Every structure is written in structure tokens, then in C-alpha cells.
Amino acid sequence: MSAIRGQNTSPELQVRRALHARGFRYALHKSDLPGKPDLALRKYGAVIFVHGCFWHKHDCSAFKMPTERREFWEKKICGNAARDAVTAEKLRQAGWRVATVWECSIRGKNRRGIEEVSNLLVKWLLNDTASIEIQEKARD
Ligand SMILES: [Zn+2]
């Protein structure tokens, strides 16, 4: 829903900038990879998705299923989430490690902020864990 506003400070761009500043280089939206990951770092065998919580149905404080046209939205958003799962599985089978950065980790009331998010990403890039999900701080 926020895709139109603030392109320049979108969570995806913040992630790109933070990693670039730390010397990481990546390819964007590679069309030969399942799901065209937002960032692909071949050297680290890793791809990174930056997902909006609404469109990708994140179970978090930022997500709320619309009450208007509920059936339409449920179908649409659940379809996106199901496709994300298939995409991640295809990538893993092709030998890629998969990171998902949720929008709520970067903006919103329970955010970690881009500094902490990029720290977590860098740590993950440098180890060999298969996947990581970065999301908002735990709620009480
Ligand atoms: Zn979220």
C-alpha cells in the first residue's frame, strides 16, 4: 500500500544502501532466479527479499486484513504468501540461501531500524545458515 509513496526511502532501498555502504555488491531483481529476488549476492550464495507486510501477509502488528471486500483481499494476499513459500523452496533447491526482511523491521512502531537490520543481514551473509527472517521486535 505504501509502494507509491516515498520510493526513495523504501525499505528495499534502505537495505540496498546499507549493504552497499558496507562493501557488499549485489544484482537487482535477477529475472533468471525464482521470484526475481530484490538482491542477489552470488559470492555469498544468498538472495534477499524485502517484503511489505500487507502484500505478503506477515503475521505482525503491521498487518491487518481489510474488512472491506475481505474475500477479495484474502484470496489475493494468501495467494501472494503461498507463492512466496514456493519461490523460497525453489531457491533453496537451487542452492541459494534466502533472507526475508519484513517491512516492519525497518518502519513501524516495533521496528529494529536499518542499522540493526543490516547488522543482522551482514552476520547472516558471513555465516552459512540457510535462511533468516528479520522482523519487528517481539511484542509484549
Ligand atoms: Zn511485518
**Rounded mean pLDDT, 91-96:** 97
- Predicted TM-score of the model (pTM): 0.91
* C-alpha torsion angle, residues 3, 133, 90, 64 (rounded to 10): -50
Per-residue pLDDT, 6: 45
Q: How far is the CA of 62 from the centre of ligand 1 (A)?
A: 5
Nearest to 11 by CA among 56, 63, 49, 60: 49
Q: Give the residue-averaged pLDDT of 101-119.
A: 96
3 pLDDT higher than 70 = no
In this predicted model, which residue has the larger pLDDT, 3 or 116?
Answer: 116
Find the mean pLDDT for residues 98-114: 96
Half-sphere exposure of 24 (CA within 13 A, CB side): 27
Task: Indicate if the pLDDT at residue 7 is higher than 90.
Answer: no
Q: The dihedral of CA 13, 85, 97, 109: what is its sign?
A: positive
Assign 139 a pLDDT band (cuts: 50, 70, 90): low
Centre of ligand 1 to C-alpha 85, Å, is: 16
- What average pLDDT does range 81-88 have in this prediction? 97
Ligand 1 centroid, distance to 57 Cα (angstroms): 8
Distance 5 CA to ligand 1 centre (A): 18
Average pLDDT (61-88) is 95
- How far apart CA 68 and CA 82 sit, in angstroms, is 22
The rounded distance, in Å, linking the Cα atoms of 5 and 2 is 6
C-alpha cell belonging to residue 104: 516492519
